[in-house]
């Protein structure tokens, strides 16, 4: 749900669909905070998959395709994509804003992958 809110909010930041009293800094700040929280929840989701009756190994959670159910690879790819987008955006000063924006577009296929995986 958090990922859906973040993916929906991002394209609206530069439009007039959000209230005008919200500054760009506030909109961007909320987007970053929601995205970071979604990343933490995704990491916890993967961590919780390593405990219980049908527990996965850490390798099955971290490496796409190792889990017995192939649809779980979509979740792993989604999590790696979220991590890549978040880290590259925080490093935008080092890698350049053009590269950071280009890599930030990976958020959309990441959202699709994370949504399509079977939890």
User: CA 8 → CA 70, 78, 93, 101, 111, distances in Å?
Assistant: 27, 16, 25, 17, 10
| Residues 106, 108: Cα–Cα separation, whole Å | 5
CA dihedral 9→11→16→17, nearest 10 degrees, is -50
Predicted confidence at residue 78, as pLDDT, reads 93
Question: If we measure between CA atoms, which residue out of 40, 39, 43, 69 comes closest to residue 56?
Answer: 69
Predicted confidence at residue 27, as pLDDT, reads 75
The overall pTM is greater than 0.75? yes
What is the H or E stretch that residue 82 is in?
Answer: helix 72-90
Domain range for 99 is 2-116
Structural domain total, the chain: 1
Residue 95 three-state SS:
helix
Residue-wise pLDDT tens digits, 64-112: 999 998 889 999 999 999 999 999 999 999 999 999 999 999 999 999 9
């Amino acid at each position: 749900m958090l990922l859906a809110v973040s993916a929906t909010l991002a394209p609206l930041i530069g439009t007039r669909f959000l209230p005008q009293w919200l500054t760009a800094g506030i909109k961007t700040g909320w987007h970053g905070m929601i995205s970071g929280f979604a990343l933490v929840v995704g990491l916890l989701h993967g961590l919780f998959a390593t405990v219980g009756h049908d527990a996965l190994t850490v390798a099955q959670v971290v490496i796409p395709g190792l889990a017995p159910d192939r649809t779980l690879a979509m979740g792993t790819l989604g999590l790696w994509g979220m991590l890549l987008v978040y880290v590259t955006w925080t490093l935008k000063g080092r890698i350049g804003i053009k590269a950071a924006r280009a890599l930030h577009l990976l958020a959309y296929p990441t959202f699709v992958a994370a949504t399509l995986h079977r939890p």
